[in-house]
Amino acid sequence: MGEEVFLTKEGLEKLQAEMHHLKTVRRKEVAARIKEAREYGDIVENSEYDDAKNEQAFVEGRIKDLEQLLRNARIIEEDDGSAAENHEVKIGSTVEIKDVESGEEFVYTLVGSAEADPSENKISNESPVGRAIIGRKAGEKVEVEVPAGIMEYEIMNIRKKSKI
């Protein structure tokens, strides 16, 4: 089987769309490039052919990876937040944290590693910060080991809850 992969509904749809694009569009584009490169003659020293074959290997590898991720996906559903136990950080929660030393505040959504994207403030539950805050509640302080030493954060607010 494989390791369980946590995804939000949005993350699942994004990966499904990527796989659909790779299978229906990119495969055809790469096949056309290979066909065109073959027409140049000898494929032994044909850099166009080599590039196209490398791209084909990348596309097929990514499709295989996506199929594995989707097979092992566990969807995180939104919860209404009414149960008391939902007031802790879980995968799918959007969390406001503050660097205790600098006072700088950050807002992150905790997601599974397959959909982590720091540019969108989506951090993995497997990241140092993610591991430190999961299961914690607003008002708690956590220490996170980073290359520069130990950072201390305070969980200010949990804005969105989830259930698995």
Domain ranges of the chain: 5-75, 79-163
Q: What is the mean pLDDT of the chain?
A: 87
Quick check: do 5-75 and 79-163 share a fold? no
pLDDT score at 1: 59
Is the pLDDT score of 123 beyond 90? yes
CATH number at 5-75: 1.10.287.180
CATH number at 79-163: 3.10.50.30
Percent of the chain scoring above 70 in pLDDT:
91
CA distance 135 to 143: 14
Tokens representing 75? 């969807």
Q: For residue 140, how many C-alpha atoms fall within 13 Å in the half-sphere facing its CB?
A: 14
Is the pLDDT score of 162 beyond 70? no
Average pLDDT over residues 12-31: 96
The label of the residue with tokens 């591991």 reads: 131
The letter for the amino acid at 56 is Q
Q: Which of 36-40, 120-124, 153-157 is the least confident region?
A: 36-40
Tell me the whole-structure pTM to 2 decimals.
Answer: 0.72
The percent helix, strand, coil of the chain (3-state, each to 5) is 45, 30, 25
pLDDT category at 65 given cuts 50, 70, 90 is very high
Average pLDDT over residues 85-89: 72
